[in-house]
Amino acid sequence: MVNSPYDILFEPVKIGPKVTKNRFYQVPHCNGMGHRWPKSMAEMRGIKAEGGWGVVCTEECEIHPSSDLSSSTLMRLWDDSDIPTHALMVEKVQEHGALAGLQMAHNGFCASNRFSRIPQLAPTARATRYDDPMQARGMDKQDIKNLRQWYKNAAKRAITAGYDILYVYAGHNLTILMHFLASRYNQRTDEYGGSLKNRARLIREILEDTKEIAGDKAAVAFRFAVDELMGVDGIRCEEEGREIVELLADLPDLWDVNISNWDNDSLTSRFGQEGHQEPYIDFVKKITKKPVVGVGRFTSPDAMVSQIRRGVLDLIGAARPSIADPFLPRKIELGKLDEIRECIGCNICTSGDLLGVPIRCTQNPTMGEEWRKGWHPEKVAPAGSTDNILIVGGGPAGLECALTLSNRGYDVTIAEKEMTTGGRLNLEAKLPGLAAWRRVIDYRSYMLSQKANVNIYLDSELGADDIMDFGFQHVMIATGSQWRIDGVGRENNFPITIHDVDVYSPEQIMAGSIPKGPVLIFDDDHYYMANTLAEMLHDKGIEVIYVTSSDKIASWTENTLEQSKIQSNIINRDIRLIRNHFVIKARNGQFTLKCTYTGRERIVEAQSFLPVTSRKPNDALYNDMMSKQDDFAAKGIKSVTCIGDSYSPSTIAAAVYHGHLAARQLDEKKDLWTDFKRENTSKIMAKF
């Protein structure tokens, strides 16, 4: 047998009384399912174990009603009635030889408690994290005793559920243990405040309590943010972060180290590269004798091996890469590196948690649908016929549809009017910071190139008459969309008056057009397009006026953990910013803006106009085809389906999902949009 350069990744690692079969470690990550949709959550985690992850952990698990994180949907261990949900996940994970880990958490003043209505807790009385008009109560000694008991109770329930690894969690600026550590939150004058040793006392006590309960039945992990990236105002890896590791060096069985806050830990590809946390966490293994796991959006096996060989990590932690490709470890083991669906770092996955809905992924359309629709990331039902399929359009939806259909065994032809496949991503992936998004196309293009049952024709624009004469039984229309330039969007329901003003579309700017300044960008979209174009034009020396109908720049990117960084970029560039206004008229270089609250109008002067408001589906071909529907039978056409942005313009993730769904739905007798299983938790309770 020839040795692989990646053999080191498949070595077992001892974690306290447990041994993981390899170094692939799915660290705790949220998924928007948790206690509300436990079957969906458990099946998703089980698929990862099947894909080769040696350890698969939960998301945050609320250990008590005083840490109620509603409206987010996470795990709970409030009482014994929660145990069956956990046992279900443990069973799914251990079935494939993986270890199951539980991240026990209490979020102190960062818990909303909107459901439980219990006053929040904090080391010292203070305002809560959210905008609710309430304050957290400063904890007395009895509260601290209670907190320790809640952790003990949760640990006992976790052992009953069968977990292999129990977490004590201080990994982000969200947890009560981190609040005790941080001097800005902890102004106590007793033995739990003041010196760093005192501020770390509660963590030590809870670690010791948890280890006593775990015994030889489970390992105990400590998740800790060694740096908060706040300078002297927070914990820094070269000072208090290091001291805490030294204080607790060999107490936990495993160190799971990262940086804080969540938006720094799960940094998008727009703002950071693979392995960006290494400079902050690489000291930990030099201090502790216990194994260390860390993250860094690792998708390259070579980068993973480098982390191990250079003594940075013992275990390769991953959240987002395990979402994009649950079978990443298995593909490395089998030498199928080119078949890895690499995470693009867009953080569409985090939006599920923040919006309280099941997780989704741009690269992996099956994520969150493993139980609900029975979708497996590597398996698909065989073709139900020998029919052949024409797909018009080679963008994200068309390529995903073609790949899934070809995996089913269908003969597929793609007709793309441009000289290359990629659709909207051919332009968007060239925007500053978005190069990794190209992976959506590169992965699918490579996989299709290996298929004998797929033909791709470039520079092939088709009309309805062409399609009617080709003889394909099924036609998928994936012709994309285009940005409107008439101002219609959320605020304007009808086209606005535009006269004697140079108007540009986002596509024109991305393709290289340079508007004359000042250019007024009207953002009524609130995602990444307007702000990315604003930065790009400003950096080319063009004066930009940024108008948004929201009170924040790119307000939707709060769900992708980018909003504060995007707004900082705009402010740091001194781009003129006008919030809570929308454009209602552009005439002779004068733009009339209207306040979203008062309706008051104001005039702003600019030479060019770049509206980023909404998109029109390119559905003319589909409509032409449907006008000939009476002739389909004579031409042998069984179905014509519109997919992706040409059906309904949305995110790239939505386009990929729709392409995948259309491919699975072909020859199905049910509507996969609406036909999916719903959770019935009473059946879980009956089983256990």
Q: Which residues are the active-site residues? A: 30, 169, 172, 265
Reduce the DSSP state of residue 219 to 3 states and report it. strand
CA pair distance 647, 539, nearest whole angstrom = 35
What is the arrangement of strands in the sheet containing 497-499, beginning at the earlier edge strand?
Answer: 497-499, 581-587, 590-595, 601-605
Strand partners, 347: none
Q: What is d(CA 563, CA 568) in angstroms, rounded to the nearest whole number?
A: 8
Give the H/E segment covering residue 181. Answer: helix 176-181
Helices (runs of H) and strands (runs of E) counted in the chain: 25, 30
Which sign, positive or negative, has the C-alpha torsion 545, 551, 553, 555?
A: negative
Distance CA 203, CA 616 (A): 54
Nearest 5°: phi and psi at 593? -105, 150
E-only strand ranges, 381-534: 388-392, 411-415, 454-457, 474-477, 481-483, 497-499, 502-503, 519-523
Structure tokens at 312: 């940075």
Q: What are phi and psi of 464, to 5 degrees?
A: -60, -40
**d(Cα 48, Cα 367) in Å, to the nearest integer?**
10
**610 touches 519 (CB < 8 A):** yes
Residue 688 · residue 87 · CB < 8 Å: yes
Q: What is the largest CA-CA distance in the chain?
A: 86
In this structure, the number of other CB atoms found within 10 A of the CB of residue 236 comes to 17
The residues pairing with 503 across neighbouring beta strands, listed in sequence order, are 609
Contacts with 612 (C-beta within 8 Å, 6 or more apart), sequence order: 483, 506, 521, 522, 523, 524, 525, 529, 530, 533
Which of 476, 509, 506, 492 minimizes the C-alpha distance to 619?
Answer: 476
φ/ψ (deg, to 5) at 234: -135, -175
Which element (helix H / strand E) includes 426?
A: helix 425-428
Helices (H), 284-389: 284-287, 301-309, 320-324, 328-333, 348-355
DSSP symbol at 292:
E
Structure tokens at 430: 């060239």
Q: Is the peptide bond before 119 cis (omega within 30 degrees of 0)?
A: no
